[in-house]
Structure 1
Amino acid sequence: MREKALIKEGKLLPSEYSRRRERDIAYLMELKEENLLFPYYTEAGLNGRLNYRPGPELHGGWDSPLSQIRGTFTGHWLSAAARLYQETGDSRLKAKADYITAEIGRCQEANGGEWAFPIPEKYLYGLKEGRHFWAPQYVCHKVMMGLLDMYQYAGNSGALTILRGCADWFFRFIRDICADTMADMMDREETGGIMELWADLYDVTGDPRHLELMRRYERTRLTGPLLEGRDVLTNMHANATIPEIHGCARAYEVTGEQRYRDIAESYWRLAVEERMPFATGGQTDAEVWTPRKKQAARLSDMNQEHCVVYNMIRLADYLYRFSGEKKYQDYIELNLHNGLLAQGFWEARALDGALEPHVPDSGIVCYYLPLAPGSVKKWGRKTEDFWCCHCTAVQANARYREWIWYQDQEEITAAQYIPSEVTTQIGNSRVTLTMKESDLGGNYLQIFEVAENIPVRPEFSGMDITVSVQEPTDFLLRLRSPWWLKGKARIFLDGEKEIPYSEKDGYLCIERKWEETQRLTIELPKGLTSWPLADEEETVAFLDGPVLLAGLTPHARMLYGNRHMPERLLAADHEREWEAWKGGFRTVGQEKNFRLIPLKEIGRECYTVYFPVKEREENNKA
């Protein structure tokens, strides 16, 4: 099976994405090893000292010692640390991750050589007997996921040894479970992405037992209706099901069986295309899929669970690599700006010129992204909450580089416009591509031509892509033509000559012989777009390019004008700050005007996203 592959030798360059990544690394390093390992030690009998007093930083919330899913976060921690180490080479992070992995191995030995998890085995045996325990297979999946990532991304061979022992336990566990009991267990409690994990492990080991585990963990009561095209998603828990579909997508990759891909594509069609996303690009209310194209009654303080955003981005990535269809990358872009950046690792801007020292306010993750009028984000804390969204936040902010560059033989695609650098091989030549934001501002202390030519906020997004080759090399460079484009894109070579390009399947295509080092400058015209509610078209949100704007108002104020012409409703506001262009707007010509700023910049402000828009009534004189 041929598909587009991620170019793995890549890294982020300075931007908002790299800043979020660095906050992620700092958070991972701040958490103490003994607290990450506490439930593992307890389960293995290694915490049994008389009068033991845990430190005051012991994790609370969902990771507390009495939680039935304790220790889950540690698996996500390992996954994030492994991927971040591969990108950054941070030796401190690797040393910490290697130590945690080794200690889980020590716990496995104390448990008899197979069980390496932070919960009792009786949780799974009880689930098998029909008793209720909170998602024990979900917990096991996250631990094994972290171990496998430590092997694949951080080169820790001991992690694979531990994982093989875990797989031995699970293979014995399922041997005498009939299909109906397996289905009941999956209906009763979340399994996470355990099917995907078994597919990943089979791809590494080739062990037929791991393939058998993959097949047994397909949730047939979900996949059967999906293959029939039935919409079984309305009011169904979203994040319990998306990882199960990841399992089918990964199963297609490792087996080539078409039915697995059909399941994943059917889920996407029902969840996204027939349901219609909110203006953020995301979906769900109170963790369930809303009815198809019914949104007005589902705006609340519990929209858009962070886990759903992250896992739907992952599903879109799978389907993009299978098909190459641009729509999946358009979806990812919306959810990057208005999901991951809007919900994770926020930090208030410190005023550098302040007379008093100021520590910026911050938050780790928003479990939900409220979309009701007068919403306020609720940020999770460092050690007191540990929701499932804490888990996906540390993973998501470790993976931005994975959704930018793809390669298919002698064709390279820039799928996202995120400052980054990748190196790959085409024929006998080593090729390096560097993407940075074009300098559209200029240093405010010096005279620059750009400041004279662009005196107000530009109505286009500019990116510079530098292509360096060892020797002259022919290949096709494809640049995604985003859905929000407001005119014809322009491409310049070495900052001067405008060059032609072809357009195919939603991509700007440049095919040429690349020599030494050449720089492309891409101008993508952008502007305002109105995004209506699916079932209330006169109520709209506003996007600037892919970036959703939030009104700094506690009310869904009525706006008067033409909703199809948002540029007449909004005007630029506080557009410049030193050498940088800002993304703010203000309403114009309204009874009470207010400001709007990108939703991803909102921290603790009260905001409203959707506004009713009414045409003005004109006085008709006889």
Structure 2
Amino acid sequence: MRNSRILFICLIFLYRQLCQAQSHYPGQHQGKFALNDKFTPAVYAFDLHNVRLLDGRFKDNMLREQAWLRRLNTRQLLHSFRNNAGIFDANEGGYFLIKKYGGWESLDCDLRGHTTGHLLSGLALMYAQTGDEYYKLKSDSLVKGLAEVQAVLNQEGYLSAFPQELINRNIAGKSVWAPWYTLHKIFSGLIDQYLYCDNQQALNVAEKMGMWAYKKLQNVDSNQRSIMLRNEFGGINESFYNLYAITGKKEYQWLGQFFYHNEIIDLLKQRKDILAPKHANTFIPKLLGLTRNYELDGLGDSDTIAKFFWDTVIEHHTFATGSNSDKEHFFKPDELSKHLTGYTGETCNVYNMLKLTKHLFTHTREMKYIEYYEKALFNHILGQQDPATGMVSYFLPMLAGAHKVYSTPENSFWCCVGSGFENHAKYGESIYYHDDNGVFINLFIASQLNWKEKGLTLQQETSFPASGQTRFIITTAPTQPLALHFRFPSWAKSMSVLLNGKPQKIKTSAGSYSTLSRIWKPNDIVEISFPMELQLKATNDNSSKVSITYGPIVLAGKQGSVQMESPAPYSDPNKYNDYYTYQYNVPANIVTKLDINNQNIAESIEAMADQPLTFKAKKEGIILQPLYNIHHERYVVYWDLK
């Protein structure tokens, strides 16, 4: 049952799975699904339950994330919700004081409660990724607590850690910090609990919230609607479309359409780059809702608009790391070199761009989407987490001599902490895709795929990117012919394929797939090699300002830890945005120029013997390593060429 339901949320919502779900669960999915009969996906997403991470850097990050998830206290997470409903947490007949979380979860912060929504998603994803019942049990306790709050509030299904007055202020156009954004996180978390953890109570709570929203917004006129949509509402439209897909109830479809932001989307229809100076994480989720609507009901130009937006962001607003924005806002197109500050690369932007990328890849199977996904996953998301503590960074600074700054266990809870609970719990979701006849292997991450429907178990063993090699072992083989499509990355100068030790002649080119199709046998082994090389990547507005990559990996120059602030910032529970007050105090002697021969980079930069992924700029003596591996130290990503 669980696998069929999870397919709803795998970002493709394919016809066959939806029809199967409707027939399998007629009591849960009333009415007909209004699907776009013109939409035919190019590939299908695998259920996260069918992929397991094997030992490697990604699994290490996931294990650190698990430790943080286990430390977070359910009573503390529910406290603000219970406070809003007037529920006192009692122990043996007496009241006791609960330690309150700080930062964006403070009781006087408009966004309080958003972390619990993210955490519900993170726990659900972690349960799916690992199968560990602990995460389901902890999820169940949170959902039960939220259901209790919803019942005690008794406000036609309304549920939040703040009173409806914040919603009223938004509708009236008064100052308030993103109440629908916060509700979106709760909706999304509850839906994920239903899809990944089979929690029917979670769906019931989400449906009641949806019906409250439907009644609440029925009488909002067009002028009020225009005003309220100028406030950040996250991906609330996506959640309503997902509820519509699961239940078939038109009220949720209406809600999804209500949050269609005409003032923004209608300009994108004209293929105009209107991004600057808009708040990036407000902007990107609007396209996620648009894409879901296309997949379900097929508004004719929705897919075209989403693809134009994606192309615009990637081609004109994205750093070498796959991140974007400066102080959370888009800037003018093709001005990257003017925005290398300490506040570039908000992690939530990358989180949402990756979600949109997955949608568009399933629509088209175009390689450019996976090329971006790999870039952003390895260079930003993987390096967001501090290996020493498991905490995460809000920004990925491009300022020469800056460094990563991390959250605290109980006094931050920014949006990027919340999305971080999801980022490091779902690494397995885009490694593999499939069509009816085969598997598309997109990412080189140590993992195991179990495609039960085809009788295939595939194990990928790799130390990539330390090595440009990966090995696939067929553990369980199907009885019918099956194709394995191996991505030939555009950054690879060549690619070789061995099947059981024998070279295979495969005609393909970089930026496409190499395919082996046969009746596989248990213990068949495919070995792929793709040599990597150093390259310079110039900013799109200054050919002399470059980053250095090795394959898809961005290398940064290590600059030591002189004059770094201690203790870490962001520790004051009463400050919500103190990251903007942080001073990097970059020393004047930071090296920002390199003498590099463009025609032969190896003359200027050498690999360090016996030190994987470590290089040295010969003249300057600067050590270069993957940006994702540099922590608690200053670095330089973009260099001036001498």
Give CA deviations for 1:507-565 in whole Å, capped at 9, x if unaligned. Answer: 11222222333110100110111111211111211111111111113624322232343
Aligned residue number for residue 627 of structure 2 = 599
2: CA distance, partners of 1:336 / 1:164? 33
Aligned partner of 2:427: which letter?
Answer: Y
Map residues 381-460 of structure 1 onto 2, 5 A cutoff.
Answer: 381-425=408-452, 429-437=454-462
Pairing partner for 1:499 from 499, 504, 507: 504
Select 1:13's aligned residue among 47, 54, 57.
Answer: 54
Residue from 515, 539, 561 that aligns with 1:509: 515
Once residues 132 and 75 of structure 1 are traced to their aligned partners in structure 2, the CA distance between those partners, rounded to angstroms, is: 23
Letter in 2 for 1:543: T
| 1:73 matches 2:115 | yes
Superposition deviation, residue 218 in structure 1 = 0.9
Distance 1:472 1:122 in 2: 61
> Is the aligned partner of 1:167 residue 2:210?
yes
| SS of corresponding position for 1:288 | coil
Task: Note the alpha carbon deviations across 1:219-247, whole angstroms, 9 max, x for none.
Answer: 11111011111111022111111111111
Give the deviation of 1:290 after TM superposition: 2.3
Secondary structure of residue in 1 paired with 2:418? helix
Of 158, 169, 188, the match for 2:201: 158
Match of 1:134 in 2: 177
The one-letter code matched in structure 2 to 1:423 is N
Q: Which runs of 5+ in 1 are unaligned?
A: 348-360, 441-456, 615-622
Equivalent position SS for 1:432: strand
The aligned amino acid for 2:97 is P
Task: Report % sequence identity.
Answer: 27
Q: 1:258 to 1:503 in 2, by over 3 A?
A: farther
Distance 1:247 1:556, change over 3 A: farther
Q: Which amino acid aligns with 2:430?
A: W
Residues in 2 aligned to 1:174 and 1:247: alpha-carbon distance in whole angstroms: 18
Once the two structures are TM-superposed, the CA of residue 607 in structure 1 deviates from its matched residue by: 0.9
The aligned counterpart of 2:167 is: 124
Q: What is the aligned partner in structure 2 of residue 210 from structure 1? A: 252
Q: Answer yes or no: is 1:551 the counterpart of 2:576.
A: no
Q: What is the one-letter code of the residue matched to 1:548?
A: V
Large movers: runs of 4+ above 3 Å: 48-56, 468-472
- Partners of 2:519 and 2:455 in 1: CA distance: 14
Please, which of 511, 527, 532 is the counterpart of residue 526 of structure 1?
532
- State the AA in 2 paired with 1:342: G
Contact kept in structure 2, 1:42 and 1:48, CA below 8 Å: no
Give 1:435 deviation, angstroms. 0.8
Q: Distance in 2 between matches of 1:317 and 1:89?
A: 23
Task: Give the equivalent residue in structure 1 for 2:275.
Answer: 233
State the secondary structure of the residue aligned to 2:508.
strand
Q: CA deviation at 1:28?
A: 0.8
- 1:587 and 2:594 are equivalent in the alignment: no
Question: In structure 2, do the counterparts of structure 1 residues 217 and 28 end up closer, same or farther at CA, with 3 Å as the change threshold?
Answer: same
Residue 473 of structure 1 aligns to a residue in which SS? coil
CA distance in 2, matches of 1:499, 1:6: 28
Aligned to 1:445: none
Residue 568 of structure 1 corresponds to 603
- What is residue 575 of structure 2 aligned with on the other side? none
1:103 is matched with 145
Inter-CA distance 174–287: structure 2 relative to 1 (3 Å threshold): same
Residue 480 of structure 2 corresponds to: 473
Number of the residue aligned with 2:82: 41
Q: Secondary structure of 1:406's match?
A: strand
Distance 1:564-1:191 versus aligned 2 partners, 3 A rule: farther
CA shift, 1:469, in A, is 4.1
Q: Determine the C-alpha separation between the residues in 2 that align with 1:62 and 1:564.
A: 50
Q: Distance in 2 between matches of 1:289 and 1:10?
A: 35
Asked if the contact 2:606/2:617 (under 8 Å) is kept, the reply is yes
Contact 2:317 2:325 in 1 (8 A): no
Partner of 2:379: 338
Partner-residue secondary structure (3-state), 1:241: helix
SS for the counterpart of 2:489 is coil
Q: Report which of the two has the higher share of strand.
A: 1
Aligned pair 1:461/2:468, yes or no? yes
CA distance, structure 2, for counterparts of residue 126 and residue 300 of structure 1:
34
Partners of 2:329 and 2:370 lie apart in 1 by 24
Query: Is this contact kept in 2: 1:373–1:609, CA < 8 A?
Result: yes
For residue 184 of structure 1, report the CA deviation from its aligned partner.
Answer: 1.2
Structure 2 unpaired stretches of 5+: 1-38, 560-586
* SS at structure 1 position matched to 2:519: strand
Equivalent pair of 1:276/1:293 in contact (CA under 8 Å)? yes
Q: Find the aligned partners of 2:462 and 2:484 in 1 and give their Cα distance.
A: 18
Task: Give the match's secondary structure for 2:108.
Answer: coil
Give the SS at the match of 2:62. helix
> What is the CA–CA distance in structure 2 between the aligned matches of 1:483 and 1:470, rounded to whole Å?
30
Shift of 1:291: 1.4
- Whole-angstrom distance in 2 between the partners of 1:332 and 1:405: 13
Moved more, 189-198 or 476-485: 476-485
- The correspondence of residues 291-370 of structure 1 with structure 2, limited to 5 A, is 291-344=332-385, 346-347=386-387, 361-370=388-397
Cross-structure match for 2:227 = 184
Q: Secondary structure at the match of 2:88?
A: coil
Partners of 2:420 and 2:596 lie apart in 1 by 39
Amino acid corresponding to residue 569 of structure 1 in structure 2: S
Structure 1 partner of 2:15? none
Residue by residue over 1:84-119, the C-alpha shift from the partner in whole angstroms, topping out at 9 and shown as x without a partner, is 112212112211110110010000100115112111
Give the match for residue 613 of structure 1.
641
Alpha-carbon distance, 1:213 to partner: 0.8
Q: Aligned partners of 1:528, 1:231: CA distance in 2, in Å? A: 32
Aligned mates of 1:471, 1:192 — CA distance in 2: 43
Matched, 1:371 2:401: no
Tell me the CA shift for residue 379 of structure 1: 0.8
Please say which of residues 32-41 and 502-511 is displaced more in the overlay: 502-511
Are residues 1:61 and 2:109 paired? no
Say if 2:278 and 2:330, in contact at 8 Å, map to a contact too. yes
Offset, 1:305: 0.4
Contact 1:556/1:612 (<8 A) preserved: no
CA distance in 1, matches of 2:141, 2:94: 26
* 1: CA distance, partners of 2:124 / 2:281: 24
How has the CA–CA distance of structure 1 residues 556 and 220 changed in structure 2, closer, same or farther, with 3 Å as cutoff?
A: farther
For residues 210 and 564 of structure 1, the distance between their equivalents in structure 2, rounded to whole angstroms, comes to 57
Give how far 1:425 is off: 4.8
- Are the counterparts in 1 of residues 102 and 410 from structure 2 also a CA contact under 8 Å? yes
Partner of 1:272: 314
Q: Calculate the aligned-residue CA RMSD, in Å.
A: 1.9
Q: Would you say 1:26 and 2:67 are equivalent positions?
A: yes
Q: Distance in 1 between matches of 2:490 and 2:277?
A: 29
3-state SS of the aligned residue for 2:641? strand
Q: TM-score, normalised to structure 2's length?
A: 0.86
